[in-house]
C-alpha cells in the first residue's frame, strides 16, 4: 500500500514537472520572459522640437524620483502642428497609445468637443488649482468644465539683435520699416515672423490686427471685423514686409522654431516670437549670447501694444469603451 502511494506521488511529481517543462518550452518558443515582480508604469510623451532638450533633463530627474513611473519621450523632431495631428489620429483609434496629452491651449476646444479628454473637474479641488495662475487655469476649461492643467505659459514678444539694431527698438509699424530699410542697404533682413498655416500665422496676424485697432470677432456683439479697414491694413503690413524685402520670403512657411534658427544666424535685426526663446537666444552656447534684447510687439502710435498668449499643459485621454 505504501509502495503504491509512493509510486503515485512520484508519478504526480513527474506529471507536474512535465507540465512545467511544456510551459517553459512554450514561453521560449514565443520569445517571452517571466514577468518581473514589479513593472513601472510608462507614459509616452510628445513634445515640440524646441522643447526637447529641456524635457530630457526633466524626465531623467522625474524617473529618478519615481521608480514606479517612467516618462518616455517619443522619438522624432516634431513641430506643434505635427504633434496635434499625431494626437488627433491616436485619440480616434480603437486603442489609443497615449494616456497623457501634452497640448497647446488652442487645441482644447477641438479635443474636448470630440470627447477625447477626461473631465478633470471632479478630480481637482479649488485649493489645488490655486497653486496655478488663475488665468491659465481658465484657459483649460471648455464649456465650464476643466480638461487641461497648465504647465507653462508664454506671450508674444519681439527679440532684438543688438549687433545689428544697436539701441534702435521700434514700437510702431512705421518705425520698423524705417530701421529695416537702413539695414536692407547693408544686406541684412529687418523682420522675421511666422507665416505657417496654423496657429503660428493666426497669432502673428491677431497681434498686428490689434495693433491697427481692428478685431476678429467682437465678443459682445459676435460681429466679425475681418472686412474692416483695420483688418485690411494688418494684412497689407504683413504683405509689405515681403514685397519690400524687409522679411525673407521663407517666413510664409515658418513656425517659431524655423524663424528662431534663422534669427540665430545673425543677419536679422528683429524677430517676433514667443517669450521662451529669449532665454535660448542668450544662452552661453548660443551664437548671439548676451546680445539679444527683449521688446514688445508693434502697434500704431498711441495704441497699447498687446500680444497673444500661448501655453502648454496636460490633459488625460478619455479611453473609449469598445
pLDDT of residue 320: 52
41-153+312-316, CATH topology level:
D-Maltodextrin-Binding Protein; domain 2 (3.40.190)
Band of the pLDDT at 258, cuts 50, 70, 90? Answer: very high
Lowest mean pLDDT among 129-133, 157-161, 206-210, 298-302: 129-133
- Spell out the domain ranges in the chain: 41-153+312-316, 154-309
Question: 259 near 192, Cβ under 8 Å?
Answer: yes
Give the span between the Cα atoms of 121 and 113, in whole angstroms.
15
Q: What CATH number belongs to 154-309? A: 3.40.190.10
Each residue of 51-106: pLDDT tens digit?
887 888 888 898 899 988 888 888 777 888 889 999 999 999 888 888 889 999 99
pLDDT for 31 beyond 80: no
pLDDT for 10 beyond 90: no
Lowest mean pLDDT among 35-39, 66-70, 81-85, 163-167: 35-39
Indicate if 154-309 has the same CATH topology as 41-153+312-316.
yes
pLDDT of residue 184: 93
pTM of the predicted protein model: 0.79
pLDDT of residue 11: 45
Closest by CA position to 154, among listed 247, 279, 258: 279
pLDDT of residue 186: 92
Lowest mean pLDDT among 13-27, 99-113, 222-236, 259-273: 13-27
pLDDT for 45 beyond 70: yes
Question: 116 near 91, Cβ under 8 Å?
Answer: yes
pLDDT of residue 227: 96
What integer best gives the mean pLDDT of the chain? 86
Average pLDDT score over residue span 25-52:
64
pLDDT of residue 273: 97
Question: 321 near 311, Cβ under 8 Å?
Answer: no
Q: Which helix (H) or strand (E) holds 274?
A: strand 268-274
Q: What residues contact 242, with CB distance under 8 A and at least 6 apart?
A: 249, 251, 252
Amino acid at each position: 500500500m505504501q509502495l503504491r502511494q509512493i509510486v503515485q506521488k512520484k508519478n504526480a511529481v513527474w506529471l507536474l514537472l512535465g507540465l512545467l517543462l511544456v510551459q517553459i518550452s512554450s514561453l521560449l518558443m514565443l520569445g517571452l520572459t517571466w514577468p518581473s515582480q514589479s513593472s513601472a508604469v510608462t507614459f509616452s510623451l510628445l513634445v515640440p522640437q524646441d522643447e526637447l532638450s529641456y524635457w530630457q533633463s526633466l524626465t531623467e530627474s522625474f524617473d529618478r524620483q519615481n521608480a514606479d513611473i517612467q516618462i518616455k519621450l517619443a522619438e522624432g523632431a516634431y513641430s506643434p502642428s505635427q504633434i496635434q495631428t499625431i494626437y488627433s489620429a491616436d485619440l480616434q483609434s480603437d486603442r489609443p497609445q497615449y494616456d497623457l496629452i501634452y497640448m497647446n491651449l488652442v487645441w482644447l476646444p477641438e479635443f474636448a468637443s470630440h470627447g477625447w479628454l477626461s473631465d478633470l473637474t471632479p478630480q481637482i479641488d479649488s485649493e489645488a488649482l490655486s497653486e496655478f495662475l488663475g488665468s491659465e487655469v481658465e484657459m483649460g476649461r471648455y464649456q465650464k468644465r476643466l480638461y487641461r492643467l497648465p504647465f507653462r505659459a508664454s506671450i508674444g514678444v519681439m527679440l532684438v539683435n543688438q549687433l545689428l539694431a544697436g539701441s534702435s527698438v521700434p514700437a510702431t509699424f512705421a518705425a520698423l520699416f524705417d530701421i529695416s530699410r537702413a539695414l536692407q542697404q547693408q544686406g541684412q533682413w529687418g523682420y522675421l515672423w511666422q507665416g505657417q498655416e496654423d496657429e503660428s500665422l493666426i497669432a502673428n496676424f491677431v497681434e498686428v490686427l490689434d495693433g491697427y485697432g481692428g478685431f476678429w470677432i467682437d465678443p459682445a456683439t459676435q460681429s466679425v471685423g475681418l472686412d474692416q479697414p483695420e483688418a485690411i491694413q494688418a494684412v497689407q503690413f504683413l504683405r509689405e514686409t515681403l514685397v519690400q524685402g524687409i522679411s525673407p520670403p521663407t517666413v510664409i512657411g515658418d513656425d517659431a522654431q524655423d524663424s528662431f534658427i534663422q534669427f540665430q544666424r545673425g543677419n536679422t535685426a528683429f524677430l517676433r516670437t514667443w517669450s521662451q526663446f529669449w532665454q535660448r537666444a542668450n544662452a552661453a552656447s548660443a551664437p548671439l549670447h548676451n546680445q539679444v534684447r527683449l521688446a514688445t510687439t508693434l502697434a500704431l502710435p498711441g495704441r497699447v501694444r498687446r500680444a497673444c498668449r500661448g501655453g502648454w499643459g496636460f490633459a488625460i485621454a478619455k479611453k473609449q469603451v469598445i
